């Protein structure tokens, strides 16, 4: 299989700081890609997301230098521990009364398998070709108020959308002592594209554009040109938030 990566990370048009961070590492056989979105409106969001990026970069460098590589499962377990370590470091760096944190969506590919670790509301989509065209599915789950089981048991969808907590994060790296992240795994398949992005992308780019751009990527078009389609639409829609994305093509 041929694995390729491409990414962007930009401030947008209305923010004073870029609190997003992106990391992509690829060595021809394995890939580590991640998007982290520092929590806006709180303390040092850019430092929280930057800490995650640097911790993943350090892990990737150490991984590349190992003469005997960890198994796929060992790598996923180590990366989960990296995020837990980031959580502890962020918690220790600010007073208990201060909120500081970041979302994190991390894709690990090795030995013909993929693992997704996610915390918060940055997303990962998977695009594949089907008989009916491009099939685009969100494989991460947003850690937001309305996705909690107890909320879904007591509110209708319409009531949720009117609730003041609708869309509020319930988990991020650095906000709670007790840390957990969602983990999903699967077998790697040729002719697929993983697309990781912050909410500054998916809230301001329509599904049609995502399908078109990722479909072009599946068709062998230049990855940078394909990502630019998404980047351009976000800016055409005002780019009110930081925007970051990473794509991984499997051919």
| Domains of the chain: residue spans and CATH | 3-140+172-250 (3.60.40.10)
For residue 50, which of 104, 129, 2 has the smallest C-alpha distance? Answer: 104
What does 152-209 look like in DSSP terms, one character per residue?
Answer: HHH--HHHHHHSTTTT-BS--BTS-SS---EEEEEE--SSEEEEEE-HHHHTSS-HHH
pTM for the model: 0.93
- The Cα angle at residue 13 between residues 7 and 14, in degrees rounded to 5: 120
Percent of the chain predicted with pLDDT > 90: 75
Lowest pLDDT segment from 48-62, 93-107, 188-202: 93-107
pLDDT of 44 higher than 90: no
How confident is the model over 81-97, as a mean pLDDT? 91
Per DSSP, the three-state class of 24 is strand
pLDDT score, position 27: 92
pLDDT score, position 74: 96
H/E element holding 53? helix 45-65
pLDDT score, position 41: 59
């Amino acid at each position: 299989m041929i694995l390729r990566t491409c990414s962007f990370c930009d401030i947008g048009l209305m923010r004073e700081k870029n609190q997003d961070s992106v990391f992509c590492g690829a060595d021809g056989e394995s890939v580590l890609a991640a998007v982290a979105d520092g929590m806006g409106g709180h303390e040092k969001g850019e430092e929280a997301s930057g800490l995650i990026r640097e911790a993943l970069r350090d892990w990737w460098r150490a991984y590349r230098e190992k003469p005997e590589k960890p198994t796929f499962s060992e790598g996923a377990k180590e990366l989960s521990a990296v995020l837990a370590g980031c959580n502890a470091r962020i918690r220790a760096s600010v007073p208990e009364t201060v909120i500081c944190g970041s979302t994190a969506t991390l894709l690990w590919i090795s030995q013909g398998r993929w693992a997704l670790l996610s915390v918060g509301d940055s997303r990962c989509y998977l695009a594949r070709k089907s008989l009916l065209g491009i099939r685009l599915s969100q494989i991460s789950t947003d850690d937001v108020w309305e996705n909690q089981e107890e909320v879904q048991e007591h509110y209708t969808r319409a009531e949720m959308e009117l609730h003041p907590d609708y869309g509020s994060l319930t988990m991020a790296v650095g906000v709670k002592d007790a840390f957990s992240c969602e983990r999903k795994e699967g077998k790697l398949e040729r002719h697929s594209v993983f697309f990781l992005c912050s909410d500054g992308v998916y809230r301001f780019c329509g599904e049609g554009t995502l399908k078109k751009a990722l479909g072009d990527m599946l068709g062998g078009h230049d990855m940078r040109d394909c990502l630019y389609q998404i980047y351009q639409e976000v800016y055409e829609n005002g780019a009110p938030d930081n925007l970051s994305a990473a794509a991984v093509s499997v051919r």
